Amino acid sequence: MSEATPKLNHHSMTRAQVVDAYFMEHRARLLDVAAFLDRIDRAGPGVDDFRMNAYRNAIALLLDGKPERTRRILEHFSDPSTTPIPAAHVKGATGAHDPIGKVH
């Protein structure tokens, strides 16, 4: 089997250019994350379900200083099992793995 082709060898933007181009857009997205968490707080007492547990743990991955955050966050949300389930009782996906398996 062939190996994946290497990354493109020319960097189309400098670090400063990336910040110039994307900072405002991602400042807004960061505020959306904060507002989402505030909205949950305002909704009253309760406990996080498996989706929000995974979400809060994913935020920690953003700040661990390690590379490939996107890949690692996607893996964090993924079902870690490796064999087919006996039967599919729903068609949809929730966005995060349910470790108790209630959703299947």
Partner 1 sequence: MYIDPHVHMVSRSTDDYVHMARAGCVAITEPAFWAGYDRSSPQGFFDYFRQLTESEPRRAAQYGIRHHTWLCINPKESEDPVFAREVIALIPEFLKKENVLGIGEIGLNKNSRNEMEILEAHLQLASDHNLLVLVHTPHLEDKLKGTLLILDAIRRFPKLDPGRVLIDHVEEHTAKHVLDQGFWCGMTLYPDTKCTPQRAVDIIETYGSERIWMNSAGDWGHSDPIAVPKAQMEMRRRGHLESLVRQVTFGNPQRFLSQSGRFSAEPLRPTAPDITR
Residue from 61, 59, 49, 63 nearest 97 by CA:
49
Pairwise CA distance, residues 50 & 38, whole Å: 18
Residue 72 CB, nearest approach to partner 1 (Å): 8
Comparison of 25 and 41: residue with beta carbon closer to partner 1: 25
Pairwise CA distance, residues 78 & 75, whole Å: 5
Comparison of 39 and 42: residue with beta carbon closer to partner 1: 39
Comparison of 5 and 100: residue with beta carbon closer to partner 1: 5
Encoded tokens for 36: 């989402």
Residue 57 CB, nearest approach to partner 1 (Å): 14
Q: Which residues bind to partner 1, rule: CB under 8 A?
A: 1-8, 12-13, 21-22, 68, 70-71, 74-75, 77-82, 84-88, 90-98, 104
Comparison of 49 and 98: residue with beta carbon closer to partner 1: 98
Residue 53 CB, nearest approach to partner 1 (Å): 13
Task: Find all residues with CB under 8 Å of 75, minimum gap 6, and list them.
Answer: none
Pairwise CA distance, residues 67 & 61, whole Å: 10
